[in-house]
Structure 1
Amino acid sequence: MATAVGVVGTRSLDFDDFDDLCTSIAVVTPSSRTKRRDRTRSKAASTRAAPRMKEPDLEARAAASSAGGRRKRASRGESRATRAVVSEDQEQEGDLRLMTHGSGRSWICCLTLSLLPVLLLAAGAMAATASSWLNPTLPLADRGACHFYMYRAQSRVTFEWGSMNLGTLPGVLKYLHTEIVPMNHPGNRLWSIDRILRFSVLVRNPGPTCFAKQHVFAAFDSGRCTVPACASRWASSGYFVGCQTQGAGSIHAYEGAVWYSVPGPCPSREFRDETEACRAAEPGGRCRAPDGSPTCTWELKLVGHITLDELAGIGDYRALQRSGGREYDPATDRGVGTSFWDGARDRTRCAERVAAAERLFHRRYPSQPQHLPTPACLN
């Protein structure tokens, strides 16, 4: 079922430990302990035929999950935190593989010592590229792409990042305030949404500005565009990133609330109905370095999250309900047993909620910029 900036996808994987998301994107040389471990693994590999670990990116992990988990792990000693987040910050060049886990450290494996010079060059290039995700003045963003944060309301179950809706932080809070917390869903919030994700995003739409009038918002339902004329718009203008301003008014008072749409592969079908032929015919706009061409308009990386329980200060959603409490009642514009969501139409209270979310992100990820300039949306 469709939501504006939070969807539970049908092609999914459940993170074992979502709390260990990366706090920074860094490249460092391996510690001596890591080197010894690599040598031990190399010796073990010479005595038994071990399957080589495939690229554990989100798309591959999701496909593996939907196919019944056919892929085996390369190492029994891999930690739960690494399993949960390693796919978010990984690069591969030939036989070199670089992976980072939640603490921001990196393991760099090379097949032979003769590749060490190549490794050092690759690590340096990767460091510059990775840093640009958190520093909008570096070259990757200077090529014309807008670099800013997008956010998303999400459950613990996730899916391929593409053909989905996101928003500014005020936009996501507006969505939560008007469509999720008023429902008082028993046991879990509606759609099991329990967190806000932060993405570092590059957008380069066709045209001289990041967003123009023709870059209209498209709603997605489980990966499928549900508004009229999606295909014709993308055929004529490319797979652009759309935006829509959620103006403050009688329903809410969140200033700066904007929703975004990012078309991924096969946006004419739900995730479960995708085919390779459809993905080839409708490639979407995601690419490594957006340049404004029809199929290269956006890229993103998941860089953090906060939970709704810690944001609202309620400790435990189920415990609140068991005690007769309620996060928010639209009839009274107040909560019962909690006051965080009180005043949906109060500009001051809405601004305080946005500030509280920003502080929580900054507390969790102090190495990330607290703010990035958000481009204007004309729709």
Structure 2
Amino acid sequence: MPDSETAEKVTDVAPSVAGNTTSDDGTEAPTDVDSPAGITTPADINTPADNSTSADNITSAENTTDTTANTTTNETVKIETDENCAEPFLQCGGETWKGPKCCKGKYVCHEVNPYFSQCKTMEEIVRENTTTTTTTTTNADPQHCLNPYQQCGGIRTNGVPYSGETCCHGGYYCTEVNTNWLQCDPTKAGGPHFVYKPTAELKEPSKAPLFTYYVYRAEAAGADYTDNVNVGNLAGTMWYLHNEVVWMTPRKFNITTLQRYKVSSRATQPLFNLGMNFGVRYAYDAAQCTGPWNCDLNYGRYGYFVGCNNLGEFPFPTYKIYYEGAKWYALPGPCPANTWKEKDATCIHDQPGGRCEGTPTGEGNCTYSIEHAGEISIDEIEGIKNYAAFVKEGYEEFNKTADKGVGLDFWNNMNDTEANNKRMAKVDKLFKEKYPDMASDADLPSPACDFKMAPFYTGTTTTTTTTTTTTLPPPCTDAAPGDKCFSAVRWAMQHGIHAHPEWYPGLTPSSSFGDFQAQVHKATPDVCPIPCIGNAKPAKPATPAAPAEAPADAPTEAPAEAPTPEAPAAAPTAEPAAAETTTPPPVAPAGCQDAHPGQSCYSAVRWAMRHGIREHPNWYPGLTSSSSFADFQARVHKATPGKCPPPCTRR
């Protein structure tokens, strides 16, 4: 099944800082800008390299040269010192409080109520506001979920409100037909669907062991679907070929290739608590989870687990099997509720699936990773040189009734365990010869399938959760020279407060660095974090008198975007630069990686370029079939950042 991308628009932003000059200590600092006529521009501001979380005594002055007047000015930045802050456990704030609003040392000013804040340690705050709850729940049993098109809500025909089951068989969802009638309709793009809401336990890595093993998948030429699919170990996949593929002419689904993948999987904690590393093996048809029964309930309870079944046991097939150790697996990907044609951005967001990059953590949305590990053709396995010619001459790979082939003896004797073992040995040998540097099937055997139907569907689970009953102060960071927050705050102190005082309600040119950082954080939290210095807080915002857009005669050093009336203006993310300087080239985004063959990201991008752009062009605005691989990777990253990193290659 293809990896689906969303139709979100990707906007690449390549930040650049122009006009950098080198200071005495060798660090890069943005060049001063000319102030508008009649406005005095404050000098540069330095902060110490040591960003302590306590309110240290910090004062600094820096000599700077005005580029127009060649005069030197000095400025000292006043920041609240530890000696002016409140003692531990004393009051530090409140609506009518006039005393110190910071705390000494490592103590934090914690709001107890709107009228009283107290200096406490973070450990005390966490301890006082933490509760532990133990809950015992009965596992979801979807066996009684409704069949397609059955009523699932509204008013019954006798006028009595409906009070029965509301869950539907896999591939269907309880959908409103009119105000009086809801029924189980097929899931589709844009329609109602299950929304995954992980419990606290599913948001944490599990203690389950990690398994790494080979799986196989029989596919048509050009297909490389690696999630929302069923796969098997070698025995399980050979059984599938023997029983469902090669006796048909042409082969079922036009299958030509046996793909091999290396999978690493880890169970979620709720599943592992029941003594299982694998859940039920759901069937996937056209990339849609179709059962048994309902898929949503147990993906919601256990996370997006890898499912398995021993062939010969529930759910299928349940009769005697002659391929020893045969197993099938289910690998849930994004939006498993919909077919691949009906997967849309909203469903992909609401149902993330279990596939992730790197080592699986066992969190609900990170239960397995997968990478390609070679392929061989069915013709190679059978020793056929040309399948089309073979069929044209009237030969048959395998005839179920006769239990043998016509013009081919590879599949003879379906229910002969020894013959089946020889068939598997030949396949393993072909992989070894074609990929001598890779491990053999015996080196990466499939783990035991430990799915247990009774506890999975009807057992009870006891979970212990720890929650906080109040919102703790978010992490703070004091801006340091060299980061974009420092430049933004310095610009606000030097220029912004003079040119646009309405952007900084409650602040003056003599306000502390921490107060300015708090105000910039309030306007643009993605640019500046909350400051630690002096426990600074932004002033209550007032409605600025400035228009929504900057006037035509705005000074050149003003921010690129004027503030909206609802919030103070965002300081620029970099110091304005002199016009004559050259803008440096864009820098590759942090954490970038160009996708390479064998990676799941590569498969997703390749599918988008081959199929997605033709079948769902609205998912890729601004792209065409001739767009670069990097452009497509950027789009896939935008849609599913957990699956694909941003590309490094310049576009």
> TM-score when scaled to structure 2?
0.35
Which segment drifts farther, 310-319 or 345-354?
Answer: 310-319
In structure 1, which of residues 225, 249, 254 is the aligned counterpart of residue 289 of structure 2?
225
Amino acid at match of 1:275: D
Aligned mates of 1:235, 1:251 — CA distance in 2: 33
- The answer on 1:333 being equivalent to 2:421 is no
Match of 1:314? 384
Distance 1:294 1:349 in 2: 41
Q: Which amino acid aligns with 1:182?
A: W
Q: Note if contact 2:220-2:255 (Cα within 8 Å) is conserved in structure 1.
A: yes
Give the direction of change, closer, same or farther, for the CA distance of 1:243–1:297 in structure 2 (3 Å limit).
Answer: same
Q: Percent identity?
A: 33
Letter in 2 for 1:193: I
- Kindly state the Cα deviation for residue 251 of structure 1 after the two structures are TM-superposed: 6.5
Q: Is the 8 A contact 2:208 2:362 kept in 1?
A: no
Contact 1:178 1:251 in 2 (8 A): no
| Residue 211 to residue 222, structure 1, CA distance change in 2 (3 Å) | farther
Unaligned runs of 5+ in 2: 8-13, 15-206, 452-651
Residue matched to 2:305 = 240
Partner-residue secondary structure (3-state), 2:388: helix
Structure 1: runs of 5+ lacking an equivalent: 1-8, 12-58, 67-93, 95-141
Find the aligned partners of 1:63 and 1:278 in 2 and give their Cα distance: 11
2:279 alignment partner in structure 1: 215
1:267 aligns with 2:331: no
Q: Could you tell me which of 353, 372, 375 is aligned with 1:284?
A: 353
**Which residue matches 1:202?**
264
Q: 1:229 to 1:298 in 2, by over 3 A?
A: same
Matched, 1:173 2:241: no
The letter for the 1-side match of 2:413 is: G
Q: Is the 1:252–1:344 Cα contact (8 Å) retained in structure 2?
A: no
Quote the offset at 1:213 in angstroms.
Answer: 7.7
Task: Tell me by how many angstroms 1:354 deviates.
Answer: 0.5
* Number of residue pairs matched by the alignment: 243
Q: Give CA-to-partner distance per residue, 1:211-239, whole Å, 9 cap, x none.
A: 82861100001111011220000000000
Q: Over residues 313-334 of structure 1, what are the superposed CA-to-partner deviations in whole Å (9 max), with x where a residue is unaligned?
A: 1222121112221000000100
Letter in 2 for 1:259: W
Distance 1:210 1:257, change over 3 A: farther
- How many Å separate the matches in 2 of 1:211 and 1:151? 26
C-alpha spacing 1:162/1:213, structure 2 compared with 1 (3 Å): closer
Distance between the aligned counterparts of 1:286 and 1:176, measured in 2?
A: 26
The aligned amino acid for 2:287 is G
- AA matched with 1:158: A
Distance 2:394 2:386 in 1: 13
1:184–1:328 Cα contact (<8 Å) kept: no
Summarize the alignment of residues 1-379 of structure 1 with structure 2, pairs less than 5 Å apart.
9=1, 11=2, 59=3, 144-185=209-250, 189-207=251-269, 208=272, 212=276, 215-227=279-291, 228-247=293-312, 252-288=321-357, 289-370=359-440, 371=442, 372-379=444-451
Letter in 1 for 2:307: G
Q: Deviations over 1:262-281 (max 9, x none)?
A: 00000000111111110110
Where 1:218 maps in the other structure, the secondary structure is: coil
Are 2:5 and 2:345, in contact at CA under 8 Å, matched by a contact in 1? no
Question: In structure 2, what is the equivalent of residue 126 of structure 1?
Answer: none
Change (3 A) 1:211 1:327: farther
CA contact (8 A) 2:278 2:308 kept: no
CA contact (8 A) 1:218 1:225 kept: yes
